[in-house]
Chain A
Amino acid sequence: EPEVTQTPSHQVTQMGQEVILRCVPISNHLYFYWYRQILGQKVEFLVSFYNNEISEKSEIFDDQFSVERPDGSNFTLKIRSTKLEDSAMYFCASRRTTGELFFGEGSRLTVL
C-alpha cells in the first residue's frame, strides 16, 4: 500500500540553524500538507499546497517557514532560523482531492 514517507525521522539542531524536512507524498495525490504536533498536544495545521503554490496557511506559518516542491516527488518544509519553540513532531500529509488525509510517520525536530 502506498504511503507518505518523511526524512529525517529525527533531527537535532542548534537554535538559529536552518532545517529542511523532506516528504514524499503518495504519487497520485494532488494536495500536500504540513502539520506540527508539540509533544502531547494537538495536531496543528501549518500549510497546504496545491498546483505548485501555497493554498492555505495558518497563523503559525510565518516568514521563517517556507515550503517547496523542488521536483515531481519531494515536498519540503524549511525553517530558516530555528527557535526552541520549534521543537515538535512535524507531519507531512497528502490527499488525492477531498477526503482522507494520509500522514507520514513524522520528523521529530529537537532545537537545543
Chain B
Amino acid sequence: GENVEQHPSTLSVQEGDSAVIKCTYSDSASNYFPWYKQELGKRPQLIIDIRSNVGEKKDQRIAVTLNKTAKHFSLHITETQPEDSAVYFCAASKDNNNDMRFGAGTRLTVKP
C-alpha cells in the first residue's frame, strides 16, 4: 500500500516568516494529494489539495507544489500568523483505490 513520509515533525517559526513542510509518497499511481490542518482537540480539516495533473496550486498565503517524478509534494505557508499554529498532515490517494494514507504530521508553532 501507499506509504507517506512527512518532515519535519516539528517546526517553529517567527510570525511573518514562511514555513515549508515536505512529504514523499511511494505509489507512483497516487494522483490526489491533500493537506489537512488539525487544531488541538479538533478534527482534521482540508486546507488545500492538488491533483497530479498540475504542479502547483495557490490559495492566498498557502501553496502546494508537486513533483511527480520525485514523488514529493510540499506545503508552503507565507506570512505566518499565530493562528496558523496547528498540526498539519499530508496525504496521498488514488482514484481507483479507496484508502487515503496520511503522513505522521508536522506540529507548526508560530511565535508572535
What is the interface of chain A, defined by CB distance below 8 A to chain B? 31, 33, 35, 41-45, 48, 50, 55-56, 58, 91, 98-101, 103-106
A-side contacts of B34, CB under 8 Å: 100-101
A-side contacts of B100, CB under 8 Å: 33, 45, 101
Contact present for B98 and A55 (CB under 8 Å): yes
- Residue from the list A31, A43, A50 in contact with B44, Cβ < 8 A: A43
What is the interface of chain B, defined by CB distance below 8 A to chain A? 1, 32, 34, 36, 38, 42-46, 49, 89, 95, 97-105
Contact present for B43 and A103 (CB under 8 Å): yes
Cβ of A64 to closest chain B Cβ, rounded Å: 19
A103 and B38 alpha carbons, distance in the complex (Å): 11
Closest 6 CB pairs of A and B: A48-B98, A56-B99, A103-B43, A55-B98, A43-B102, A42-B104
B-side contacts of A103, CB under 8 Å: 43-45
Contact present for A91 and B43 (CB under 8 Å): yes
Contact present for A99 and B49 (CB under 8 Å): yes
Query: Given contacts A99-B49, A103-B44, are A42 and B89 in contact (CB under 8 A)?
Result: yes
Contact present for A50 and B99 (CB under 8 Å): no
Contact present for B97 and A42 (CB under 8 Å): no
**Which residue of chain B has the shortest Cβ distance to A48 in the bound complex?**
B98
B-side contacts of A91, CB under 8 Å: 43-44
Cβ of B22 to closest chain A Cβ, rounded Å: 16
B-side contacts of A31, CB under 8 Å: 98
**Which residue of chain B has the shortest Cβ distance to A56 in the bound complex?**
B99
- Residue from the list B36, B42, B44, B99 in contact with A45, Cβ < 8 A: B99
**Which residue of chain B has the shortest Cβ distance to A6 in the bound complex?**
B43
